[in-house]
């Protein structure tokens, strides 16, 4: 199948050729003719499948006839995150080189002014996140009654992010007679309900998950300790010992962990950026650009923040946590091993993760191999009974552990600092040697200070630790016995 057979316009075909694409991907081959025939389409596909071009290319062709009217966008694309919205805009730039279409982006963190002016002049394509679109609408600057085609992208992510009520409101504001394209990576019942409500007699197009196709990804499980600091240490060792690591995404389940892990990795000398929902737009774009360009080889991200981002050629994916939803695992590891390249996906597993892990293995239809000891083989005392149990609780329990091999190590960690010092001295040079990405040269002093602070933060301290209060060091006059 070639692009010429899909019914795309000459201008679009030229742009596709300029982009260097010779063959449509399966979702493009299946969806494009139906979009051009003005049918509603339900696409079950995720990022990496060429899904964005599956709707941008036929949209460009359809938009060649007709003109935009003031304040009345002709087409509307809803995206769950700002980055995805920006990425779709990039696609219009890339495939729309031969067109003179007006494309506007309505996303949080960008000033209203410019976009307002554009919309007032009239836009062919409006790309928006739901909240921002409604903000504009409520300010009376926008009319949605001219929308001929509506795209709802990443619908299951919209659901996760709580955007469904907004989407339902927006759908009521666009004409009933519009054409609708609805994309979701998964089809849970809530999403199916929405698809049934929004689409009229749709063509269903489904493409296989990357997990079932990307046999080029080496997947491994790594048993880790129960404490956050152990988890971080396991991750650092993994990164340092990884073979052929070019760049990596480290996924966390919670955005709070993204921020903590980012700081921790920085303190340990890694060159790393973070992406999570609490960052402002400028910081998110800067982080992403730095990672995309290769300036920063490591990116810590949450699923929501990273969803759908087009980041080519990631050599490694590290799952700092086992994702709660099996589909997220598939999305995460789909970031590596793309287009026939080899890739590695490592997942840190602790006790309490067994159920999530079983769900993943069921979904991908195969067990994942352990690298090193399995969770069951890991000494019980080192295992975490549940996520989130922290050092505070340990300290309250006096840091005591029962008998067994693993506990000797644990006890060593809990021993007063003087006793632990030699062990740390032995380890320190090794760490320095292995650290592949020292953020800056010549910050030894600060790094040293950071490291000691960090170790304090990571290892439970007994009593006063190595701190001797000044009053204990004061010379004491001892009265002579008469």
132 burial (CB, 10 Å; 0-12 / 13-18 / 19+) is: buried
Whose tokens are 């030229």? That residue is 14
How far is the C-alpha of 387 from the C-alpha of 355, rounded, in Å? 13
| Residue 74 beta carbon to ligand AMP: minimum distance, rounded to whole angstroms | 22
Give min distance, CB of 86 to ligand AMP, in A: 13
Which residues, 6+ apart, have CB-to-CB distance to 22 below 8 Å? 2, 3
Q: How far is the CB of 240 from ligand AMP (least distance, A)?
A: 30
Report which of 352, 463, 457 is spatially closest to residue 418, judged by C-alpha positions.
463
Point out which span in 21-29, 180-188, 354-362, 364-372 binds ligand AMP (CB under 6 A). Answer: 21-29
Q: Closest approach of Cβ 436 to ligand AMP, in Å?
A: 27
* 370 counts as binding ligand AMP under rule CB under 6 A: no
Q: Work out how close the CB of 185 gets to ligand AMP at its nearest, in angstroms, rounded to a whole number.
A: 10
Nearest distance from residue 22's CB to ligand AMP, in Å?
7
* Residue 159 DSSP code: H
Residue among 8, 24, 130, 349 that touches ligand AMP (CB under 6 A): 24
Pick the closer one to ligand AMP by CB: 87 or 356. 87
Contact 301, 322 (CB under 8 A): no
Could you give the string, one character per residue 288-327, with x where binding to ligand AMP holds by CB under 6 A and - elsewhere? ----------------------x-----------------
Q: Is 398 exposed, middle or buried (0-12, 13-18, 19+ CB in 10 A)?
A: exposed
Nearest CB to ligand AMP, comparing residues 28 and 224: 28
The two tokens of residue 450 are 């950071």
Coil, strand or helix at 44? strand
CB of 77 to ligand AMP, least distance (A): 12
DSSP state of 298: E
Burial of 204 (0-12, 13-18, 19+ CB in 10 A): middle
**How far is it, in rounded angstroms, from Cα 360 to Cα 363?**
5
Could you tell me the CA-to-CA distances from 205 to 27, 33, 51, 284, 308 in Å, in that order? Answer: 7, 12, 11, 33, 18
Which CB sits closer to ligand AMP, 124 or 153?
153
Rounded CA-CA distance 223/375 in Å is 5
Min dist CB 84 to ligand AMP, Å, is 9
CB of 212 to ligand AMP, least distance (A): 16
Q: Which helix (H) or strand (E) holds 427?
A: helix 417-434
Closer residue to ligand AMP (CB): 268 or 307:
307
Nearer to ligand AMP, 51 or 331 (CB): 51
Site string for ligand AMP, 225-244 (x = CB under 6 A): --------------------
Decide whether 47 or 302 has the Cβ nearer to ligand AMP. 47
- Please identify, using beta-carbon distances, which residue of 2 and 241 lies nearer to ligand AMP: 2
Near ligand AMP by CB under 6 A: residue from 14, 25, 213, 281:
25
What CA–CA distance (Å, rounded) separates 460 from 228?
A: 12
Whose Cβ is closer to ligand AMP: residue 53's or residue 238's?
A: 53
- What residues contact 69, with CB distance under 8 A and at least 6 apart? 122, 146
Residue nearer to ligand AMP on the CB measure, 23 or 374: 23
| Minimum distance, C-beta of residue 24 to ligand AMP, in the bound complex (Å) | 5
Residues 41-100 binding ligand AMP (CB under 6 A) are 47-53
With 0-12 / 13-18 / 19 or more C-beta atoms within 10 angstroms meaning exposed / middle / buried, residue 336 is: buried
Q: In this structure, how many other beta carbons lie within 10 angstroms of the beta carbon of residue 183?
A: 26
Q: Which is nearer to ligand AMP, 212 or 430 (CB)?
A: 212
Q: Which two tokens stand for residue 455?
A: 């170790």
Binding residues vs ligand AMP (CB under 6 A): 21, 23-25, 28, 47-53, 310
């Amino acid at each position: 199948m070639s692009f010429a057979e899909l019914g795309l316009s000459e201008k679009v075909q030229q742009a596709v050729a300029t982009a260097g694409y010779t063959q449509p991907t399966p979702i493009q081959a299946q969806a494009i003719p139906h979009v051009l025939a003005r049918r509603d389409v339900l696409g079950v596909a995720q990022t990496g499948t060429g899904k964005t071009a599956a709707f941008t290319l036929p949209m460009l062709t359809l938009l060649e006839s007709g003109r935009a009217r003031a304040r009345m966008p002709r087409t509307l694309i809803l995206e769950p995150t700002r980055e995805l919205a920006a990425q779709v805009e990039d696609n219009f730039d890339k495939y729309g080189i031969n067109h003179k279409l007006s494309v506007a982006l309505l996303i949080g963190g960008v000033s209203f002014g410019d976009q307002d002016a554009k919309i007032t002049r009239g836009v062919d394509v409006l790309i928006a996140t739901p909240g921002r679109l409604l903000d504009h609408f409520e300010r009376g600057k926008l009319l949605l009654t001219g929308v001929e085609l509506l795209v709802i992208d990443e619908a299951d992510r919209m659901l996760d992010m709580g955007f469904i009520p907004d989407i339902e409101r927006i759908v009521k504001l666009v004409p009933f007679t519009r054409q609708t394209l609805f994309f979701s990576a998964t089809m849970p019942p809530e999403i199916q309900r929405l698809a049934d409500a929004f689409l009229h007699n749709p063509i269903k197009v489904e493409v296989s998950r990357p997990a079932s196709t990307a046999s080029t990804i080496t997947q491994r499980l790594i048993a880790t300790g129960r404490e956050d600091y152990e988890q971080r240490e396991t991750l650092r060792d993994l990164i340092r010992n990884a073979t052929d690591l070019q760049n990596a995404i480290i996924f966390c389940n919670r955005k709070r962990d993204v921020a903590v892990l980012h700081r921790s990795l920085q303190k340990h000398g890694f060159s790393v950026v973070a992406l999570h929902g609490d960052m402002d737009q400028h910081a998110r774009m800067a982080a992403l650009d730095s990672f995309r360009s290769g300036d920063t080889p490591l990116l810590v991200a949450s699923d929501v923040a990273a969803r759908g981002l087009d980041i080519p050629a990631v050599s490694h994916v590290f799952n700092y946590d086992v994702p709660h939803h099996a589909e997220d695992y598939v999305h995460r590891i789909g970031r590596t091993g793309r287009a026939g390249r080899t890739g590695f996906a490592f997942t840190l597993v602790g006790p309490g993760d067994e159920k999530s892990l079983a769900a993943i293995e069921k979904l991908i239809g195969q067990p994942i191999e352990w690298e090193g000891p399995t969770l069951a083989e890991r000494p019980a005392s080192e295992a975490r009974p549940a996520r989130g149990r922290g050092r505070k609780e340990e300290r309250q329990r006096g840091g005591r552990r029962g008998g067994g091999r693993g506990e000797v190590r644990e006890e060593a960690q809990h021993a007063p600092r003087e006793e632990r010092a030699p062990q740390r001295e032995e380890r320190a040079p090794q760490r320095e040697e292995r650290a592949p990405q020292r953020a800056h040269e010549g910050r030894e002093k600060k790094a040293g200070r950071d490291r000691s602070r960090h170790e304090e933060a990571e290892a439970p301290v007994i009593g006063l630790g190595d701190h001797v209060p000044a009053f204990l060091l004061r010379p004491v006059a001892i009265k002579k016995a008469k």
